[in-house]
Structure 1
């Protein structure tokens, strides 16, 4: 299945900004699950491309001029295998790297007890049951959390809900609390009948020497509609855009993402 991705991120500033640096991770790679036919990006200023410690493509862009608007755009065509059971198996990193707790994925006693209620024999089916329980406990609800809201805080305020990032952080925290490696994945999702579309986050869990997909927000457990862009320990390892700047006042951001069959 071929999918066309169009991702635009628009920034506006209340005052003139300058001397900014943007760290961008919005470039998928070809592997056994997906083939990148084309991928173009438009980034203001000068930029360099390299790979990070997790083998993700990483673009560093600098703007050495005054501005009040900034737009980053990527567009491309990616073909994915809808029958693929697993994805992105090749990695130079040992799975134990993804047992490391981070500030976003700490697991407290209540969360661990919650996980133990559903996972007793470390099987894929039991982790799917845990995924369903997490979504039931933390219903999908946009605009109630922020990008820096940690898993423990989401779990405590579960009745308010959360989004794919929150579901992923909570699930990763529980998996690691159980002693099972889990990693955060950013990318794109094509699923026309679901609410949580386009730019997306999900989890991969290392079971029986394989990395398995756990899309908590949509209860999808194979990557048949997913385009992989970056992997890491949590959101901060794979954030599509992060940066610093001089001045600029108040920043507002608007993002438009389309994932369409072609």
Structure 2
């Protein structure tokens, strides 16, 4: 796993400034509205939510929130890919998840962020103050139900990650990851069937799966040699036999 100097994320966070929201007029045409937290709201209710929303956009490698800092904000990803990670006691990095358009994060944390969220690609988010959005749940109970549902999904993903790290072989881990990424790619839309878009680096994949970069690269090569996948580029994988990959991900 990649080592990161202690305090690097925290010092990066200090230079981030919040922007005033300028996306109000674009909400109706939002390309991820169907999967975002606001998909349960009508136009009038979206306008109420916009009252407490601000644009928060980061370039790649910039931090959105840092592990250990006060968890004052919640985020809904509109564009780009976000990496969630934790620092281990020995200075190693463990990636705990990747977030894509429509994903929501921050509510599962209590007083402080339990992870660092960093942009892999340029990222656009809607950001909400925790206090204000929890107050909005009383006015828009369907929004509270939707956010609770998304938070439950976030916690389930953490549970699945523990299973992935603890019980599966390197081959099973990579097959599980490719199936998951193909599902995410299909949700985002705009890609051919059985396509897995991987905006993260191989080192990121390794840190997520608890493997070395060499092992990840070797497993990619083996799957390609067996005609189970085709590597169009470092960031684009075609699943040639998704059924077999699914079976292998389950240890069959």
Give the TM-score range, shorter chain: under 0.3
TM-score by length of 1: 0.23
Of structures 1 and 2, the one scoring higher in RCO (CA 8 A, sep 6+) is 1
TM-score by length of 2: 0.23
**Which structure carries more strand by proportion?**
1
